[in-house]
Chain A
Amino acid sequence: MHSTSGAKSAHDPALDDFRIDQEPYYRSVGHEVALFEAAYGARMPVMLKGPTGCGKTRFVEHMAWRLKRPLVTVSCHEDMTASDLVGRYLLDADGTVWHDGPLTLAVRSGAICYLDEIVEARQDTTVVIHSLTDDRRILPLEKKNEVLKAHPDFQLVISYNPGYQSVLKDLKESTKQRFAAIAFTYPDAAIEAEIVASEAGVKRPVAETLVRIAQRSRNLKGHGLEEGASTRMLINAGHLVAGGIALDQACEVALVLPITDDADMRDALTAAIAACL
Chain B
Amino acid sequence: MQSDEAIRAAFPGDLYVTWGDVCRRLVGAGYGDVVTDSYLRHSPELARLASPQAAIALAAIVSGLAIRAGRRAASLAPAAAIVAAKRYNDAAALQEWLRLIEQVGDQAPESAGALLDQTASLTARLDVRALASWIRIGLRSTNGEPERRLRFFTLEDPNARRWLLRESGEAGFLDLEPRLKPYLAALWGETPPMRETPANAPEQARRRPGFDGSVVRLPAAYPGFSGNDSEKLYRAAVAHIGAHLKFSHERFPVGGLKPAQIALVSLIEDARVEQLAMRELPGLRRLFTPFHVAEASGTATAPGLFTRLARALADPAHDDPDPWVEKGRRAFFEAEGYWGSQQVSRRIGDLLGNDLGQMRVQFDPKNYVVQPPYRDDNLGLWDFGDDDQQQSSEAEQVLSSTRIRQEQDDRRPPDRTETEMGDTGGRVEVIEQAQDGVLVARYPEYDYVTGREQPEWTSVKEYAPKAVANGPAARLAEEHADLVARVAALIRSARVSRAERLRRQPEGEFLDMDACIEATVARRIGEAADHRIHGRYERRSRDLSVLLLLDISQSTAEKVRGSTRTVLDVERQSASLLARAMAGLGDPFAIAAFCSDKRDDVRYLRIKDFNRGYDGLVDARLDGLESGLSTRIGAAMRHAGADLARERSYRRLLLVVTDGEPSDIDVEDRQYLVEDSRKAVHHLNRFGIDTFCVGLDSNADSYLGRIFGQRNAITIAAVERLTDLLPKLYLTLSR
The smallest C-beta distance from B389 to any residue of chain A, in angstroms, reads 39
Which residues of chain A come closer than 8 Å to B169, judged between CB atoms?
none
> For residue B183, which residues in chain A have a CB less than 8 angstroms away from its CB?
268, 271-272
Complex formed: what's the CA distance from A264 to B468 in Å?
47
Which A residue sits closest to B523, measured CB to CB? A93
Cβ A271 vs Cβ B529 within 8 A: no
Determine the chain B residues whose CB is within 8 A of the CB of A271 once the complex forms.
Answer: 179, 183, 235
- Contact across chains for A93 and B280 when beta carbons are under 8 A apart: no
A217 sits at the interface (CB 8 A):
yes
What interface size band does chain B fall in? 20 to 34
Cβ-Cβ contact count across A and B, 8 Å cutoff: 74
Contact A216 B506 (CB under 8 A): no
Bound together, the chains give a CA A210 to CA B281 distance in angstroms of 12
Question: Known contacts A220-B186, A276-B282: does B526 contact A268 (CB below 8 Å)?
Answer: no
Q: Given contacts A167-B648, A212-B280, A275-B239, is CB(A269)–CB(B526) below 8 Å?
A: no
A151 to B533, CA, bound (A): 33
Among A8-39, those with CB < 8 Å from B are: none
**Which B residues between 226 and 246 are near A, CB-CB below 8 angstroms?**
235, 239
B321 at the interface (CB under 8 A from A): no
| B182 close to A264 (CB less than 8 A) | yes
User: Could you tell me if A275 and B179 are in contact, using CB atoms closer than 8 angstroms?
Assistant: no
Which of B78-86, B187-195, B606-614, B619-627 faces chain A? B187-195
User: Would you call A88 an interface residue if the criterion is a C-beta within 8 Å of the partner chain's C-beta atoms?
Assistant: yes
A209 to B12, CA, bound (A): 72
Taking the closest CB of chain B, its distance from the CB of A267, in whole angstroms, is 5
The total of chain A residues at the interface (CB under 8 A) is 28
Q: Mark B281-297, 1 if CB is under 8 A from A, else 0.
A: 11110110000000000
A275 to B278, CA, bound (A): 8
Across the interface, name the chain B residue whose C-beta is closest to A260: B182
Contact with A along B671-690 (1 / 0, CB 8 A): 00000000000000000000
Q: Is B283's CB under 8 angstroms from A274's CB?
A: yes
Give chain A residues whose Cβ lies under 8 Å from the Cβ of B366.
none
Question: Quick check: is B644 within 8 A (CB to CB) of the other chain?
Answer: no
B281 and chain A: residue at smallest CB distance = A275
A185 CB within 8 Å of chain B: no
Which of A166, A269, A272 has the largest number of chain B CB atoms within 10 A?
A: A272
Q: Would you call A166 and B648 a contact (CB within 8 A)?
A: yes
- Give chain B residues whose Cβ lies under 8 Å from the Cβ of A274: 283, 286-287
A268 touching B239 by the CB < 8 A rule? no
* A81 lies within 8 A of chain B by Cβ: yes
**Distance, CA A272 to CA B186, complexed state (A):** 6
**B residues 356-390 with Cβ under 8 Å of A?**
none
Knowing A83-B506, A91-B531, the reply to whether A276 touches B283 (Cβ < 8 A) is yes
CB–CB A268/B283 < 8 A: no
Tell whether, in the assembled complex, residue A275 and residue B189 are in contact, meaning their CB atoms are under 8 Å apart. no
Q: Is A136 an interface position by the 8 A CB rule?
A: no
Chain B stretch 178-211: residues in CB contact (< 8 A) with chain A: 178-183, 185-189, 191
Q: Given known contacts A88-B506, A272-B186, what 8 new A-B pairs fall within 8 Å (CB)? A: A168-B648, A217-B186, A224-B185, A272-B183, A273-B283, A275-B281, A276-B281, A277-B283
23 A-B Cβ contacts within 8 A? A83-B506, A88-B507, A91-B519, A93-B523, A212-B281, A217-B186, A219-B189, A220-B182, A220-B186, A223-B181, A223-B182, A223-B185, A224-B182, A264-B179, A268-B179, A268-B185, A268-B186, A272-B183, A273-B283, A274-B286, A275-B187, A275-B283, A276-B282
B residues apposed to A, CB below 8 Å: 178-183, 185-189, 191, 235, 239, 280-284, 286-287, 423, 506-507, 519, 523, 526, 529, 531, 533, 648
